[in-house]
Amino acid sequence: MVGYDFPPFRPPNEASSALIRVTRGCPWNRCLFCTMYKTTKFEPRGIADVKKDIDAAVEIYPKARGVFIADSDSLAMKNIERIISYIRYRFPNVERITSYARATTLMRLGVARLAKLRQAGLTRVHVGLESGDAGTLAFLKKGATSQEMIAGGRAAIDAGLELSLYVLIGAGGKDRLLKHAVGSAQVCNAINPDFIRLRTLIVQQGSLLEEHMQQGEYHPTTPQEKISEVKQFLESLTVHDCELVSDHHTNYLWVGNSVVYKGIYGRLPEDKKQMLDILNQTLHLLSQTSGEVLDATLLYERGLISSL
């Protein structure tokens, strides 16, 4: 980790990657549920400073298998191709170079430009879909429509990049549970990403979503409803050659001190039945238990876990 003045944000599967900070903050920074960059103004870092960090990172992470470019939406940076090329030059044996990206940025860059970034060394982009439901996206102030999500995702894939899409379980609340689940699956089907990663929404203290919840404009789902939502989402998926993972502790469910659900993992379509079986078994278990069912939201409210 080089060039950071606050704790870094990166996908869990990039935990062992060298982190290179190319931009600070998020250019959008308006999502109701997010608190990551609220006190940070978005700005690109100077290319000379970034190169110094890359040089230092080579000494710190000489055997790094991956390099993650931070912060949010760094592909929007004007000189990003030069930085990616320099990372590839200084880390000649690295297996992947990845970055967060907004779907609207991918759409704006287009296939030809993204293909040049791929040729420079970029291999994968992580995109927060959150939801494919138009009403949920608008409510959360995501700043992109479902059609823009599809256009940006397809541009990345057509450019030869791997695409990792994030779906936010509970994003629609009780009122839009079904529309959120089905709409998210429909967008994933239209894009056919390489990875779908599930995250469960936690209404964080100090977030704008918390204000809306307190005003009765958002009604969070129960643990049982979250599992039902995941089931409806999975049943609606028709993607192929796609890996579905729940690689975050926010997806866990507890009964007392025992973890009874850790999410679902598998390849689609071949592992779909196996994952549905896990969801059905979990729903049956929750319907039979006399103990309190806890999810990450409840534990966060009680100060027992962090949402990050």
Domain count, the chain: 1
Any domain includes 307: no
Residue 133, domain CATH: 3.80.30.20
The angle at the Cα of 100, spanning 40 to 8, to the nearest 5 degrees, equals 45
How far is the C-alpha of 218 from the C-alpha of 13, rounded, in Å?
30
Structural domain contains residue 5: no
Beta strands in 25-171 (DSSP E): 43-44, 66-70, 96-100, 124-130, 162-169
Q: Is 206 domain-assigned?
A: yes
Write out the chain's pLDDT in tens, 308 residues. 555 555 667 888 888 899 999 998 888 888 999 888 777 888 899 999 999 999 999 999 888 999 999 988 999 998 999 999 999 999 999 999 999 999 999 999 999 999 999 999 999 999 999 999 999 999 999 999 999 999 999 999 999 999 999 999 999 999 999 999 999 999 999 999 999 999 999 998 889 999 999 999 999 999 999 999 999 999 999 999 999 999 888 999 999 889 999 999 999 999 999 999 999 999 999 999 999 999 988 888 888 888 76
User: 2 in a domain, yes or no?
Assistant: no
SS3 96: strand
Contacts of 281 (CB under 8 A, 6+ apart): none
Peptide bond preceding 269 in cis form (omega within 30 of 0):
yes
Residue 306 lies in a domain: no
Q: Domain containing 245: what range?
A: 12-301
Neighbours of 30 (CB within 10 A): 12
What distance, in Å, lies between the first and last C-alpha atoms of the chain?
Answer: 17
Residue 6 resides in a domain: no
Contact in structure between 21 and 66 (CB atoms under 8 Å): no
Residue 187 is assigned to a structural domain of this protein: yes
Distance, in Å, from the CA atom of 234 to the CA atom of 303, rounded to the nearest integer, reads 31
Residue 171 lies in a domain: yes
Q: What residues have CB less than 8 Å from 194, skipping those under 6 apart?
A: 124, 157, 162, 163, 164, 241, 242, 243
